[in-house]
Structure 1
Amino acid sequence: MTQPPAPRVLLGHGTENDFVVLPDPDGTGWPEQRLDAALVRRLCERRSGPGGDGVLRVVRSRHVPDAAAALGADLDRCEWFMDHRNADGSHAEMCGNGIRLFLHVLLAEGLVDRAACEKGVLVGTRGGPRRVGAVPGGGYWVDMGPARPFGRGEARIAGRTFAGLAVSMGNPHLACLTDVDLDALDLTGVPAVDPQLFPEGVNLELVTLLRAGGEGADAHVRLRVVERGVGETRSCGTGACAAAFAALEARGAGSGTVVVDVPGGRLSVRVGDGTTVLTGPAVLTATGVLTAEWLAG
């Protein structure tokens, strides 16, 4: 009897926010009942599995059971769906670093062509449709949609309380501008936040303003981020957008471009015209197969 091919797996990152990527264009390799929370957690384990901050399944929207609810009237416009899972196995709405890597994989796998990518491709996510495109000369941009403030709150972590702006980027954020030494903070814990403001948890950004601008930008910030369901990560695309919005808001500006330094590299965020646009790199680091021995473990 012919054995089915071993399932392929790719590894990659966007500013060191890294993912296990599962190519599954026709939805036959990793259906929902197979890619359950327990398997996602095993895939993200860094010592006993491939390892990553999350899992991205590259699949056509029509094969994702909840795509219609997430995309509504835009379902037919989104051929591809970024089926994103957090490291704890939960579904995630949106990830700016992940969706850049997602487009990079579509290109590397020959599923879209470069010309279409430079114009922008509409990709489905659980946070709604997002347009993402290739930058001539390298890198990727993604229209992240509008940053929507929804109040102010506090987070307690590392023995300190930080006040910040609650911002929705399709997922919830608390962006806290602070002058503390970010390098001195122990961010291994889970932030304590107001459950009424953040009933489903929150991504916490601790942000310091470096200078008024630079590189043609209106502001330059540095951040560390603790993602819900993951812990501290090297980068967070939606977090960079929330931080940029909060930095501009603190200066009384409704629009502008912000350079955002994260532990894993540098991103650029443009806020204006009713949306935010995130630009940064995406890199594939490895490709291989999951062995029968590991899958049976």
Structure 2
Amino acid sequence: MTLAPRVLLGHGTENDFVVLPDPDGTVWPEDRLDPALVRRLCDRKAGLGGDGVLRVVRSVHVPDAPEVLGDDLARCEWFMDHRNADGSHAEMCGNGIRLFLHVLVTEGLLDRSTCVAGVLVGTRGGPRRVGATGDGSYWVDMGPARPFGTGEATLSDQTFSGQAISMGNPHLACLTDVEVDSLDLTAAPGFDAALFPDGVNVEVVNVLQPAAHIRLRVYERGVGETRSCGTGACAAAYAALVDGGATEGTVLVDVPGGRLSVEVTAGTTVLTGPAVLVAAGELCGEWLTG
């Protein structure tokens, strides 16, 4: 185990991550990458800073991979070991998994040409197929949006009704005529804990063009407001389509960090957008042992 392990910094539409290359699971085993260290890595003043941590590791080295992947374990060579900024495990992240594939390509662990048709990657939300586009972006098959009721979020002393949607993780997508940029998302929104016992990502959404173009902001559980959320974009796009009387379609999603495209079909949801590596380096021994 090296004292100065390599780290990468990257983002997908400014949803940013500390990325830890660990193909063989020897540098960041489960007992080393504990919640306290994740919080230190994500600290924007005393650490590297990020909305979360992505460990790039083969599935066979992840203790809970057999449980979450089941019969698909053998088909998923790679596992996106994703932690929220508060140190908790996260099921799925559409921005993170695009960056994850970008790292596999740039690190020489996969050839980009073999990724056009998509490769299966393990996550705690189950296997996800993610691939490369001809223009340098990445797509990910997020699976179907699964509505499971309605609820309310309270923020900025206002109550917003929304649709509860699972994208492998829980969302409350609130369509509103209130300008989303006017809302204060510095504090966690209130929500129905009975409907969301494990917490929830809350999206506030303006529909710019019915069933075709939306703008959103998001408060992610375990993180706070982020510049983008891939699963949130999918949940919001689905909610906008349903609100407009459609069940399928392609929606442009503007987030503070850029633009994503979400295609909703009868059987699945495909998210497309950029992934960018910003920096590469090593963690200093004095910080690790401090």
Residue 236 of structure 1 is matched in structure 2 by: 229
Distance in 2 (alpha carbons) for counterparts of 1:114 and 1:171? 28
Residue 224 of structure 1 is matched in structure 2 by: 217
Residue 254 of structure 1 is matched in structure 2 by: 247
> Are residue 99 (structure 1) and residue 92 (structure 2) matched?
no
> Are residue 274 (structure 1) and residue 274 (structure 2) matched?
no
* Offset from partner CA, 1:85-141 (integer Å, 9 cap, x none): 000000000000000000000000000011211110100000000000000121000
Instruction: Indicate which of 112, 134, 137 corresponds to 1:136.
Output: 134
| Deviation, structure 1 residue 158 | 1.4
2:142 match: secondary structure: strand
| Counterpart residue type for residue 223 of structure 2 | V
**Worse-matched range after superposition: 141-150 or 181-190:** 181-190
Distance in 2 (alpha carbons) for counterparts of 1:119 and 1:183? 37
| Deviation, structure 1 residue 6 | 1.4
| Counterpart residue type for residue 283 of structure 2 | L
Match runs of 1:35-74 below 5 Å: 35-74=33-72
| Counterpart residue type for residue 65 of structure 1 | P
Residue 173 of structure 1 is matched in structure 2 by: 171
Distance in 1 (alpha carbons) for counterparts of 2:270 and 2:117? 14
Distance in 2 (alpha carbons) for counterparts of 1:74 and 1:157? 40
| Deviation, structure 1 residue 191 | 1.2
> Are residue 283 (structure 1) and residue 283 (structure 2) matched?
no
Distance in 1 (alpha carbons) for counterparts of 2:123 and 2:181? 33
Residue 78 of structure 1 is matched in structure 2 by: 76
TM-score normalised by length of structure 1: 0.96
| Counterpart residue type for residue 281 of structure 1 | P
Residue 21 of structure 1 is matched in structure 2 by: 19
Distance in 1 (alpha carbons) for counterparts of 2:155 and 2:2? 48
| Counterpart residue type for residue 285 of structure 2 | A
**Worse-matched range after superposition: 180-189 or 260-269:** 180-189
Distance in 2 (alpha carbons) for counterparts of 1:161 and 1:190? 13
Residue 120 of structure 1 is matched in structure 2 by: 118
Residue 196 of structure 1 is matched in structure 2 by: 194
Distance in 2 (alpha carbons) for counterparts of 1:289 and 1:165? 43
**Residues 173, 202 of structure 2: 8 Å contact kept:** yes
Distance in 2 (alpha carbons) for counterparts of 1:158 and 1:289? 41
| Counterpart residue type for residue 122 of structure 1 | L
| Deviation, structure 1 residue 182 | 1.2
TM-score normalised by length of structure 2: 0.99
Distance in 1 (alpha carbons) for counterparts of 2:19 and 2:113? 23
**Residues 131, 139 of structure 2: 8 Å contact kept:** yes
**Residues 247, 266 of structure 2: 8 Å contact kept:** no
| Deviation, structure 1 residue 184 | 1.3
Between Structure 1 and Structure 2, how many residues are aligned? Answer: 290
1:193 match: secondary structure: coil
| Deviation, structure 1 residue 5 | 5.3
